Structure 1
Amino acid sequence: MRRADAETPRRGLYTPQQRARRDASPWTIVQGVLAPVQFLVCLVSIALIARYLATGEGYAAATISIVAKTLTLYTIMVTGAIWEKEVFGVYLFAEPFFWEDVVSFGVIALHTFYLVALFTDLIGTRGQMAVALAAYAAYVVNAVQFVLKLRAARMQEAREAAPAISLIGEGAR
């Protein structure tokens, strides 16, 4: 059931109540730590995949890195759903993050397909690497969505703080 945020109408990404919940949630910090960790794991994995595809060497290292990236993705998705529940009252598809969540499911589907392909040898090693790279491309799109959303939230907060700052300056004259 959706949390009734009729408390204050939303004029941006967060209502004041949602922002307060976001700032008080320990899951905000968890997301802030996991996001760059996942990005670094992805970069290392891309390098290992590229090495394997270019030389035919390092399949095990590339595979371990892809599994690590997938587990990191699953972790950030679960903790992100908990965060969304705390802030917006729903585990997924809260209005401000609807499209980010939709794309996240595509990213998860591709990573999960990689695991299926890995454990069933469905498409061979080169096919597995192609799926991993497709999953990473989708992940980059999703990461950009979240970075843009974070930027929008910061801009909203700056706009809302600006009138208060200018009023303080007016009284000092």
Structure 2
Amino acid sequence: MYTEDQLARRARSKWTKVQIILAPIQFVAFLISFGLVIYYLVTGEGHMAATISIWIKIALIWALTITGMLWEYDMYDHYFMAKEFFWEDLGNLIAIITHNAYFVAQWMGADDRTVMWVMVFAYITYLFNAGQFLVRGVRSAQQRSALKRAEAATTSMQS
């Protein structure tokens, strides 16, 4: 999955820690916002709370995208669409475009319910993208664990 050099780069990059911190915060914001958007769509109440939660979620997806680009540069010497990270970046691009469709819908004068449905769609794209990152994260953790076990076995054999 990662070369030894890339694993070393990952460990050295300050953006790895930032991503590890921001990703769960964004997921919690997503859960809250999704709940508030659905509540508004079902009851017609809580529009302002849903709107504020959407703004927070959009700010977080941008923060993760920007810091993710910096992380990707540290890892692959590309800010975006490195071949090793192509599918994750494509998923992120789709998610960020759909999130920003909120502003387009507002600008075009869409009614509040339509704007909230735009966000439901955006949140579905986010879930697919988050799933990709979760799978990559699990595989990465498995790879690092296997390398540590191999190192430990080699060290104990040499002793």
TM-score (norm 1): 0.86
| CA deviation string 1:104-154 (max 9, x = no partner) | 111011111111212332x31111111101111110110110010011111
Structure 2 residue 147 is the aligned partner of structure 1 residue 160: yes
Aligned mates of 1:159, 1:114 — CA distance in 2 = 43
Aligned with 1:16 (options 4, 24, 30): 4
Q: How many residues align?
A: 159
Aligned mates of 1:81, 1:168 — CA distance in 2 = 36
The structure with the larger Rg is: 1
Structure 2 residue 78 is the aligned partner of structure 1 residue 90: yes
Aligned identity (percent) is 37
Aligned mates of 1:111, 1:171 — CA distance in 2 = 54
Q: How does 1:1-173 map to 2 (within 5 A)?
A: 13-121=1-109, 123-171=110-158
Gaps of 5+ in 2: none
Is the 1:67–1:115 contact (alpha carbons within 8 Å) kept by the matching residues of 2? no
Q: State the 1:171 CA deviation.
A: 5.0
Gaps of 5+ in 1: 1-12
Aligned mates of 2:151, 2:70 — CA distance in 1 = 33
Q: State the 1:19 CA deviation.
A: 1.1
Matched position secondary structure for 1:75: helix
TM-score (norm 2): 0.93
**Matched residue type, 2:119:** A
Instruction: Provide the alpha-carbon RMSD of the alignment.
Output: 1.4
Aligned mates of 2:134, 2:51 — CA distance in 1 = 28
Aligned mates of 2:100, 2:128 — CA distance in 1 = 17
Higher normalized helix content (fraction of residues): 2
